[in-house]
Structures are given as C-alpha cells and as structure tokens.
Amino acid sequence: MKLFALTTFTMLFFASNSLLTRAGVADGMDPLTFAAIRVGAGAVFLGVIALWQRGQVPITGRTRLLSVIGLSVYLLGFSLSYLTLEAGMGALVLFATVQLCLFGAAIAFREVIGPRRWLGMGIAMSGLTLLLLPGGGGGVDLAGVAWMILGGAGWALYTYMGKSSDWALGNSAGNFLLSTGVLFLAVPLWWGGVITPLGLVCAVASGAIASGLGYALWFVVLPQMATTTAGVAQLCVPVIAVIGGAVLLDEPVTLPIILACAVVLGGIALATVPPARKAGSPPQ
C-alpha cells in the first residue's frame, strides 16, 4: 500500500506539470520565462536534497552535456506548446512522443523488437495521427503539437541518458542546475518577458513541487518496481491531465480526445506490458 500511495502521488505530480504550465502560460506569462523559473526552482529543491544526502551536486560526467541539452529542449518545447494546447492534449502528445522516440532508439541500437511491440506502437501512432489530421475532430493547434513533439524528443533524450545513472537524484540536481544556466542565458528575465502573479506561482510550484518533489518520489519508488510496471504506471499521466484540465481549467473533453487517449494508451500498453505467463512456463 505504501508503494501504491507513493506511485499515485508521483503520477499526480507528473500530470500537475501540464496543468500548472498551461494555467501559467494561459494567464499571460511568457512561456520562456516560465521555463527558466521552473527549472531554477527545481534546481534549488533537488540541490538541497542532494546536498543533504551526499553533500554534493555533481555537474560533470560522460553524459552530462546531452542530458542538459535534452532537459533544456524539453522545458522550452513543453512551455511553448501550452500557448495553444490544452493540458490533457499536451500530456498525451508528450507521452506518445517520448515512447515513440525510445522505441526508435531501440531500433537504432538494434534491440530485439517482437511483433507485439511493433503492433502496439503502430496502434499508438495511428491513434495520435487520426486525432491530428484535419477534420479529426480534436481541434488541435499543429504549431503547439510541433513544440510538444520537440519537448518530448528532449525528454526522451534526457530519459535515455539517465538510464545508467548511478545516483539519479543527484545527477538530476546537477542537470537542473546546468540547465538553469542555459535557460537564464538564452532567455534572461531582463529581456522583458511578462511575469504574472499566477504564472510565477505556477512556475515555482511546477519546478519545486511537481518536478522536484515528483522526481524525488520517483527515485524512491522506481527501484522497488519492475521496469514494465514503471512504464505502465506512467500510462495514467495523460488521463489524469485530461481529467484535471476539465475540472480545474474548464477544458472541454471531446469524444475524439477520449478515443485518442484510449487508442494511444492502449497501443503503448500493448507494446510495453508483457503477455500473461502461464503457470509453469519460463519467464520471458
């Protein structure tokens, strides 16, 4: 029950990033400034935990540069997409993009991919494509989708680089710290980006709580569950974002969006969840 509760809270925090970013940007806050403040708040929170745990925040390493690039691209694309995308739709595009990019990485590195994974990814891609096609009924802004796809590619790179991390929380603190420098140099606040009171609160909450605390909890529960279980747990994030967007941000939940969620998440589940093993059969 403790693991279930921690995992539930973690997924709520992950979905909250979409809700907080959409609320802040829709309030009129400059999305690039939002991203800079968000990553800065996350760096402070994760840095404090890392210093408390081991007395250091690592900023060097073989994969550090690519990790920081991936994180920075994710933050910028994620924030810019919510100028036009609704919270739930953005989370769905992000989640599908990350899974498809990781699937592409598996192909590039010649991992063995069975027919079940091919079929599942094909279903997921078809569901997303049908929604985004003209006349698909989703009313989705393609520029926003393009920004979210870029953000998803950045997050996939960040995830892939972090697979071999020997201290996930500390390395995340270092990545956030370096990414803060990148974003504040690329998008300095003195350029005149609009900051609204609600947007500022949402940016800090997204960075320190939804990202910082969410990642800290994720690093607690991740070692306690199988890789496939971790993948399945994240299937609920777009669904939570859709529900949260409808309840908290008064976003419409249309039939095409519901069907897209079902098809995309069903396809990803088919690709990531291993088939049930018969009693007495060897593990796969």
Which range, 87-91, 98-102, 213-217, is most confident?
A: 87-91
| Among 67, 203, 79, CA closest to 150 | 79
pLDDT for 254: 78
User: The dihedral of CA 185, 65, 142, 96: what is its sign?
Assistant: negative
Whether 151 and 94 have beta carbons less than 8 Å apart is answered as yes
Burial of 164 (0-12, 13-18, 19+ CB in 10 A): exposed
H-helix or E-strand spanning residue 277: none
pLDDT in tens, 29-84: 999 999 999 999 999 999 999 999 999 999 988 889 999 999 999 999 999 999 99
A 10 A CB-CB count for 224 gives 12
pTM of this prediction?
0.86
pLDDT for 11: 87
pLDDT for 281: 38
H-helix or E-strand spanning residue 61: none
Q: Which of 47-51, 105-109, 172-176, 240-244 has the lowest mean pLDDT?
A: 105-109
Whether 276 and 131 have beta carbons less than 8 Å apart is answered as no
